[in-house]
Structure 1
Amino acid sequence: MTHTHTHAFDLATAADLRRGPDIAAVLDHLVADATATAATSIGYPGAVDLDHTAVMARLGHRLWNNIGDPSDPGGVAHTRVLEQAVIAWVAELVGMPAEDRWGYVTTGGTEGNLSALHAAYRRWPTARIYYSTAAHYSIRKIVDMLATYKVVVRAHPDGQMDYDHLAEQVRKRRRWPAIVVATAGTTMTEAVDDTDRIHAILTEYSMVGHVHVDAALSGIPLALDGALRLDDTSGIGSVAISGHKFFGVPTPCGVVLVRDSVRNPARQPIAYTAATDTTITGSRCGLAAALLWHAIALHGREGHRWRVAEARRVAGYAVERLRAAGWPARRWPHALTVVLPTPPEAVRKKWLLATDGPVSHIICMPGITTGQVDALAADLAAAAIPRPRAR
């Protein structure tokens, strides 16, 4: 992210590793570099208000490997009991029936999307997979990996799916099942696709298939609001949520939930692990499961609702503060993401802003302060302010 990274990795070349590098110096440099940029790292989602030291101090000295199905009583258990608790907590939060759910702790949103879409495609192998132009880049990659037929649906400038275009595309392909990927928190604007409208379109054309929600960023906040539900009336078959975003876990991870009735797993027993192989990776990071459990247990539902409310308060403040500085800004009412015209390069680099052409954003994750917003606003006020083109 900055030029100082080069010096850190100069200490970790292959030759240095053969000789024996100054391990403490390399690690200290990485920590110092990350610490130096922490105050201005507000362009990418990762909560910074939770302290996971208690878990790392107790568990960080050994391997925690959750092998096999999370509910499998055999094999190496490690932290599977905590993984089961995490899955149950998230499933209950979104109202997923206990008799029709399955899930596990993943390496992140991408694996969650892959696991869910793989299950849906095994269930409906002639399906077309629909996703919008605002969907996360992992969706196209996954569709290519599965070698399925894909249908790309337009998204509006605000990031939400164009439902008229979805209906048009579905109507043309009524003879095949439909797997539709909705997004709850698009990458640039944190738009949320309306799954009720998607379900209504599929119902209108008597389509069979599956609705998957990629809720990597907004899943937990929306579920705490009661706005993301996977009950029997929702029409949603699966959801993927990140663990390192809202929960601020210090390693990429996530949770995937899939209706058990959708799955057609090859429950292959693996002799030497004494477990069944039902997940994408087989081995899973037991430390990630413990960290997620710790984050959930530390605050509970009400504590996490407070964290959402405080983060949204800061995001609302950011919109007002940036506008007062003469810089246009906007956000969805539910969102932690604040969208603004792309600033000059110096501002983008200092604040590590996520940028897509003419649009950039900041994300006011839990732990981001109004002081940081004020400092960004001051830099934007000093920069060239975009002027509307003359008509």
Structure 2
Amino acid sequence: MTLIPELQATELLPRVVSTGKSSAKRQKLQTDIEEKLAITECSGDSQPNLTSIISHYLQSLKHYSLRNLGYPTNQDFNYDPLHPLLDFHLNNAGDPFLGSSFSLNSTSFEVSVLNWFASIWEIETSEYWGYVTSGGTEGNLHGILVGREQLPDGILYTSEDSHYSIFKIAKMYRMKCVKVRTLISGEIDCADLKVQALAHKDKPAIINLNIGTTMKGGIDDLDLVIQTLEDCGFTPDRYYIHCDGALFGMMFPFLKQASRISFKKPIGSVTISGHKFLGCPIPCGIVLTRLEYINGLSKDVEVIASRDATITGSRSGHAPIFLWYALKTRGLVGLQNEVQKCIMNAQYLKNRLLDAGIGAMLNKFSNIVVFERPLDYKFSRRWNLACNGNIAHVVVMQHITVQMLDSFVDEFLQQRSISFEEGRFQPICVANDIGAANCACTLHHSIS
């Protein structure tokens, strides 16, 4: 038996949900876990005991990695050659392009990574600025901050399907935030954007554009958004566009038929998460913006002999090396192959669900399969599904095989049949979430 069975492997001290007859047993398990993890030894705990605890925790991680379907973290990686770097504290405080007086840094790796993304997003190295962040939220914090500094009285527009960090950022920065409706796909509804923008046309517009929404993978149409702003009378000096590309921002450049994210278009910043498609073992990300915007955000700091222009002070020096290694080992061809594999397997999952009578949707260029939410809570936890309202999704990443998807669908069908036999089963109507054509409830299934 593992130390942390039936628990979130991502939590060091997970909480057991107590339900039914097993409540007392689960509570006892939770108490045992808390006692083992409690930091109480005045002289320090013994190494054998510490090794045992970590060993059990590793077992739980391996157990959950076999069914990690609902969240966009690529688990298919090997960074063994980088292990010796963990013997050093690496800190990239300050401006990566200037370095700092703290010599144990990896800014040369960081700049190499940033230059690679600059070429992908079509901006000259002499015209951009950026850094490696702690993740997508920090990238959004920085990008929207740049937009606000350019347009201090601007209104933030973002779709209702945007990542929760956008609404948190609006609150933190005390910005007026207009929530725009979305289409069934999760894409921003530019008809509603036009109505909202015209209603506030006396104020500049700061747009958060989603290159893949969290739940459905909906991709906002950059060109249509720009056209909508221009139709409303907004000139480029009166709007700022930040692109939140968390997962898909890394995949988009390798899809030939998809529209491009490019600084040749009037965008102000782009951010992606490094721990998602690239598969870094620690949360991280990249944010790029135009160099001309940065001077107003920067301040020289003598103690580090650098310039402070980032959200955080101390920044991970290990993350840029992981990103550099991930890009170096794969190359453009390897990345493109991984993108195609994920999208093909996502299509496979969608077809299997639909063939089995389970309502499902998959957006074009997406690896996120959305379907009716399973009725069984334990099943959703077992497969680490992300759920919202009546729907759930699987994000088909590199570590997810066809065999895993088959096991998931087979178990899903078994769970549904048990509910049916017990008289509890009625297919959830998800027409409002994924469209009537994709719904498998009694009404819409019979219509289709």
TM-score, structure 2 length as denominator? 0.83
2:190 corresponds to: 163
1:172 corresponds to: 199
2:89 corresponds to: 63
| C-alpha distance after superposition, 1:171-202 (max 9, x if no partner) | 11111110000101101110100011111111
Partner amino acid, structure 1, of 2:101: G
More displaced, 18-27 or 163-172?
Answer: 18-27
1:133 corresponds to: 160
Q: Give the Cα separation in 1 of the matches to 2:263 and 2:80.
A: 36
Q: Give the Cα separation in 1 of the matches to 2:42 and 2:379.
A: 37
Of 359, 362, 374 in structure 1, the residue corresponding to residue 394 of structure 2 is: 362
Q: In the alignment, is residue 352 of structure 1 matched against residue 384 of structure 2?
A: yes
Q: Give the Cα separation in 1 of the matches to 2:43 and 2:179.
A: 49
Q: Give the Cα separation in 1 of the matches to 2:360 and 2:7.
A: 30
Of 6, 17, 39 in structure 2, the residue corresponding to residue 2 of structure 1 is: 6
1:209 corresponds to: 239
CA change 1:182–1:14 in 2 (3 A) is same
2:272 corresponds to: 241
2:170 corresponds to: 143
Of 294, 316, 319 in structure 2, the residue corresponding to residue 288 of structure 1 is: 319
| C-alpha distance after superposition, 1:308-360 (max 9, x if no partner) | 01111111111112223332222112111111100122321110110001000
Q: Which runs of 5 or more structure 1 residues have no equivalent in the other structure?
A: none
Across the two proteins, how many residue pairs are aligned to each other? 389
Contact 2:99 2:107 in 1 (8 A): no
Q: In the alignment, is residue 388 of structure 1 matched against residue 441 of structure 2?
A: yes
Contact 2:92 2:99 in 1 (8 A): no
* CA drift at 1:3: 4.0
Q: Give the Cα separation in 2 of the matches to 1:146 and 1:131.
A: 15
Partner amino acid, structure 1, of 2:441: P
* CA drift at 1:82: 0.4
Q: Give the Cα separation in 2 of the matches to 1:379 and 1:326.
A: 14
- 3-state SS of paired residue (1:377): helix
| C-alpha distance after superposition, 1:243-275 (max 9, x if no partner) | 000011000000001112233434322222111
Q: Give the Cα separation in 2 of the matches to 1:390 and 1:16.
A: 62
Q: Give the Cα separation in 2 of the matches to 1:26 and 1:124.
A: 52
1:50 corresponds to: 77
* CA drift at 1:17: 7.0
- 3-state SS of paired residue (1:315): helix
Q: Give the Cα separation in 2 of the matches to 1:193 and 1:125.
A: 25
CA change 1:346–1:131 in 2 (3 A) is same
| C-alpha distance after superposition, 1:207-263 (max 9, x if no partner) | 21201111001001102225332232x221111100000011000000001112233
Contact 1:325 1:378 in 2 (8 A): no
CA change 1:17–1:328 in 2 (3 A) is farther
2:347 corresponds to: 316
| C-alpha distance after superposition, 1:4-58 (max 9, x if no partner) | 8545543121325765262212211221111111111111011122211211x12
Contact 1:217 1:242 in 2 (8 A): yes
Structure 1 or 2, whichever has the larger Rg, is 2
- 3-state SS of paired residue (1:339): strand
CA change 1:252–1:346 in 2 (3 A) is same
More displaced, 65-74 or 92-101?
Answer: 92-101
* CA drift at 1:73: 4.1
2:252 corresponds to: 222
- 3-state SS of paired residue (1:257): strand
1:11 corresponds to: 36
Query: Matched residues, percent identical?
Result: 30
Of 250, 255, 261 in structure 1, the residue corresponding to residue 286 of structure 2 is: 255
2:310 corresponds to: 279
More displaced, 36-45 or 92-101?
Answer: 92-101
1:374 corresponds to: 406
- 3-state SS of paired residue (2:324): helix
1:195 corresponds to: 222
More displaced, 163-172 or 339-348?
Answer: 339-348
Partner amino acid, structure 2, of 1:169: Q
More displaced, 207-216 or 151-160?
Answer: 151-160
- 3-state SS of paired residue (1:381): helix
1:336 corresponds to: 367
Q: Give the Cα separation in 2 of the matches to 1:176 and 1:267.
A: 26
Contact 1:342 1:360 in 2 (8 A): yes
**Which has the bigger relative contact order, CA under 8 A and spacing at least 6?**
1
| C-alpha distance after superposition, 1:139-187 (max 9, x if no partner) | 0000111111111111123211111110011111111110000101101
Partner amino acid, structure 2, of 1:71: F
CA change 1:266–1:335 in 2 (3 A) is closer
Q: Which runs of 5 or more structure 2 residues have no equivalent in the other structure?
A: 9-13, 15-29, 417-424, 428-439
* CA drift at 1:2: 2.7
Q: Give the Cα separation in 2 of the matches to 1:340 and 1:229.
A: 28
